[in-house]
Amino acid sequence: MAQEDSGAENLENANVFVRGLRWLFYGVLVRALVLLALGVTVRNRQRLPESGPAIIAANHNSHLDTMVLMSLFPLRLLPKLRPVAAADYFCKTKRRAWFSQNILGIIPVPRRTSGGANPLAGCERALARGEILILFPEGSRGEPEALTAFKRGIGHLAKLTPDVPVIPVFMHGLGKALPKGSAVLVPFNCTVSIGEPLYGRGSDDGFVETLEAEMKSLAAGEKLPVWS
């Protein structure tokens, strides 16, 4: 019994240590980076969810995208925030997998599955726990400031959870501040525009089309030549 108690105590201490590291990473390092190195203008911040379950669906041009989105939420919600990321990249090695899942807090999603496995099962479980997903419907990062076609996964997930709000978020500038393939951060004025929540109460394809249209509408509202 004493050994069991000791083991439980050690596990709890380890969990507290990991939670502390995650708080330091996002609460200190990431916020300092976003506040000091970037100029970020947020439009309609009040549309962000104050609790879960919810899905943040954003365009994707840079590794900075997740950091900026995470910094928009109060730190009290940090345990509930779960970026969705490709398992083959973020879990390539044991060390990277540990950091990605424990500090970044990602939900790893396989790009390819076999045997009828559901690649979005982890996302569904997270939403059932009342968590907030940060998801990029384009999949991988695209060229700086260019929107690519959304994958059907977001439509499937929205349809499976029709009462969960999907909040479209359009970001401009981060693809130039830290583009794909670059390790050098360039200070750049960025904007984050948050749309009205959408719900997956129709077909998968219909939801994807609606989400894409809303994203383009948010971009047009910025009057920025992002699609050229």
pLDDT given at position 86? 85
What is the average pLDDT score of the chain? Answer: 85
Question: Which residues face 43 on adjacent strands?
Answer: 193
Band (pLDDT 50/70/90 cuts) for residue 220 is: confident
- Residues 97-114 have pLDDT tens digits of 999 999 999 999 987 766
pLDDT given at position 227? 41
Helical residues (DSSP H) of 49-151, grouped into ranges:
64-71, 87-90, 94-98, 121-128
- Residues 58-82 have pLDDT tens digits of 998 888 899 999 999 999 999 999 9
3 pLDDT more than 70 = no
Q: Which residues contact 157 (CB under 8 A, 6 or more apart)?
A: 55, 120, 123, 124, 135, 200
Q: Is residue 22 within 8 Å of 105, Cβ to Cβ?
A: yes
223 pLDDT more than 60 = yes
226 pLDDT more than 50 = no
Classify 2-221 by CATH class.
Answer: alpha beta
User: What pTM did the predictor assign?
Assistant: 0.87
Q: Is residue 38 within 8 Å of 190, Cβ to Cβ?
A: yes
Average pLDDT over residues 106-132: 87
pLDDT given at position 202? 83
3-state secondary structure of 34: helix
DSSP 224: -
Token output for 32: 């300092």
Q: Is residue 110 within 8 Å of 88, Cβ to Cβ?
A: yes
166 pLDDT more than 80 = yes
Give every strand in the sheet of 39-43, ordered side by side. Answer: 39-43, 189-194, 166-172, 54-58, 132-135, 81-86, 107-109
55 pLDDT more than 60 = yes
126 pLDDT more than 90 = yes
194 pLDDT more than 90 = yes
140 pLDDT more than 70 = no
pLDDT given at position 23? 93
pLDDT given at position 228? 43
Ranking 64-78, 182-196, 209-223 by mean pLDDT, the lowest is 182-196
pLDDT given at position 182? 66
Average pLDDT over residues 164-180: 86
For residues 11 and 212, the model is more confident at 212
Helical residues (DSSP H) of 148-223, grouped into ranges:
153-160, 174-177, 204-221
pLDDT given at position 61? 82
| Rounded-to-integer distance, Cα 126 and Cα 81, Å | 10
